[in-house]
Amino acid sequence: MQELEQEDRLSDLPDDILTFVLERLKLHEVARTSVLSRRWRHLFSYRSSIQIHIGDDAAQSNTSVVEATKRMLAHTMRSPISLLSLRFHVVDESIDIIHCVDNAVANRQISELQFLMHPEILDVDCPEDGMAAYGRRFMRFVDVGPSAFASLTYLYMHCLKLGTDDLNHVLNACTKLKSLTLNFCDWGILSELQIHHPLLTRLTIVNCTFERVELSYLPSLTRLYCQTWISLQDLHPLSFGYVPQLSEIILSNQGTEIHKDFQLSEFLSNMMLRLLDLDFECGKIWIQPQDSKLIRPWLQNLQILYLRHIHEECDLDWVMFLLEAASLFKRVYVQVSDSAVCQCNKSDHRDLGQVHQYKGPADLKHYNLMELSIRGYQVNERFTRYIKLVVEAAVNLQRVLLLDNVPCKRCGSCPSKGFPQTLEERKLVGKQISQWRSSPVKIGFGI
C-alpha cells in the first residue's frame, strides 16, 4: 500500500519532471516502468537519449534490438531526439532497423545518430567469404536507408570485406558524418583508399587490410588513429592531402622486416600537429631520426609526445631528434616494455632491425619542456644516458616522473625488477638527476 501511495505521488508530478526522471533510467527500466504504469506510458516516446546496443540488458539478442528499436521509434510523437545510438548485427532482419530509422528521420529531429554494425562472427573467426557476404549486405543497407545514413554522425564498421569504391559510396551517403571507425575491414592487400569528406572530424582505422590510405580532402579532421598496417611496397601506409585542422595523430604498429621505415617529414606535411602518439608494440622502431631542420616546420606546434612500448633492447637517444625539432614541447612520455617479463610480447618475428642512433648538438637547449615521464624505468646505463640528455637540455623542466611497468592485463606478468623499490634506491636516483641541473626539479616515482 505504501509503495502504491509513493507511485501515486510520483504520478502527480508534471510531465517535464517525470521525463527528467526517465532520462536517467536505463532503457530496460524505462520500458518496464512504461508497461506497469499507465501514467508513465505516454512519456515513453519523450525520451531524448536512446541507446540500444546488442548485449545490453534491454537487448540480449539482435532480434531484441530490432524489436526495441521499433517500439522506441514507432510512436506518433515527434519530440526531438538528442542521441539515437544503435549497435546491431549485419544480418537480414536488421534491415527493419534501417527502415525504422529512415522513417524516424523524416518525422523527428535527431541531433546525433550512431550506427555500430558488425557480423555475428568477429575478427579472425570470420572467414573471408563470410566477410564478403556481410560487406554486400551492409552496402544494401546503405542503399535502402538513404535518409538514415544521410543523418549519421557516427559510423562503426567491423569485420566487413568491401571494394575500394564502396567506401566512397558510404562516405557520399553519410553527408553529416563526424566520426568513422573502421575495424578489421578488408579492402584487399594491394588496395589504395582515398578518403574525402567535408565534415569528418575523427577517423579510426584498426587492423584493416589495405596497402595505403590517402586522406585526400578532410578539411574538418582533427584526430586520426591508425593501428596495424601492411605495406608490401615501398610506400607509407598514410598519405595526407588537405587536412588543415589535423592536430592529433596516433599510430600503432609492431614493426617487422616487411615494414618500411620512414621519416616523419616524408608524410607529416600539410599539417600542424599538437599531439603525436607512436606505439611500436615492442617491434622495431619504424621512425628514422633525421635532421631537425627538415622536420621542424611540421612539428613547430607539437606540444605533447607519447612513445609507447619501445622494446627494451632499443636505445633511447634517438628520441632527442624530436626534442630538437619541436621547440614547443611541454610534455614527453616514453614507455619501455620489458619483453623478458611479459609473455604477450613474444612473437615469431622479433627482428628489431637496425637500432637507430642519433647524436644531437652538445649544447642543445629546450625552453618549453615542463615534464618528462618514463614508464618502465630501470636503473641501467641506457635510461641514465637518455634522462641526462633531456635534463641537461630542458632549461625549464619542472618534473621528472619515473614509473614502473604495470602488471600485464592479459598474461598477469609482474613489472620488471629493475625499478628502484626502496626509498634509499630512489634517493640515489634522484640525487644523480639533480646533479645534472643548476635549478631544482621535482622527481617522482610510482606505478
Rounded CA Rg of the chain: 27
Residues 179 and 284 in one domain: no
pLDDT at 347 over 70: no
Q: Average the pLDDT over each of 87-91, 106-110, 322-326 and give the range with the smallest value.
A: 106-110
C-alpha cell at 150: 544521410
Please check whether residue 53 lies inside any domain of the structure: no
Smallest Cα–Cα separation from 250: which of 280, 277, 215?
A: 277
Cβ atoms of 160 and 181 closer than 8 Å: no
Residues 400 and 314 in one domain: yes
Residues 322 and 190 in one domain: no
Residues 238 and 340 in one domain: no
Please check whether residue 362 lies inside any domain of the structure: yes
Residues 176 and 308 in one domain: no
Beta strand residue intervals within 45-158, DSSP E: 49-53, 81-89, 110-118, 154-158
Residues 156 and 90 in one domain: yes
Tens of pLDDT, residue by residue over 125-155, are 788 889 999 999 999 999 999 999 999 999 9
Q: For residue 34, what are the domain limits?
A: 10-47
Say what the pLDDT of residue 321 is.
Answer: 93
Query: Total structural domains in the chain?
Result: 3
Residues 43 and 97 in one domain: no
Please check whether residue 333 lies inside any domain of the structure: yes
Residues 225 and 267 in one domain: no
Residues 316 and 408 in one domain: yes
Please check whether residue 365 lies inside any domain of the structure: yes
Domain with 204 in it: what CATH number?
3.80.10
pLDDT at 306 over 50: yes
Say what the pLDDT of residue 33 is.
Answer: 47
Please check whether residue 4 lies inside any domain of the structure: no
pLDDT at 39 over 60: no
Residues 120 and 159 in one domain: yes
C-alpha cell at 322: 624530436
Looking at per-residue confidence, does 79 or 36 come out higher? 79
Strand partners, 212: 192
Supply the DSSP string of 176-187, one letter for each residue: T--EEEEES-B-
Tell me the percentage of the chain whose pLDDT exceeds 90. Answer: 53
Residues 169 and 306 in one domain: no
C-alpha cell at 143: 542503399
Beta strand residue intervals within 321-395, DSSP E: 331-337, 371-375
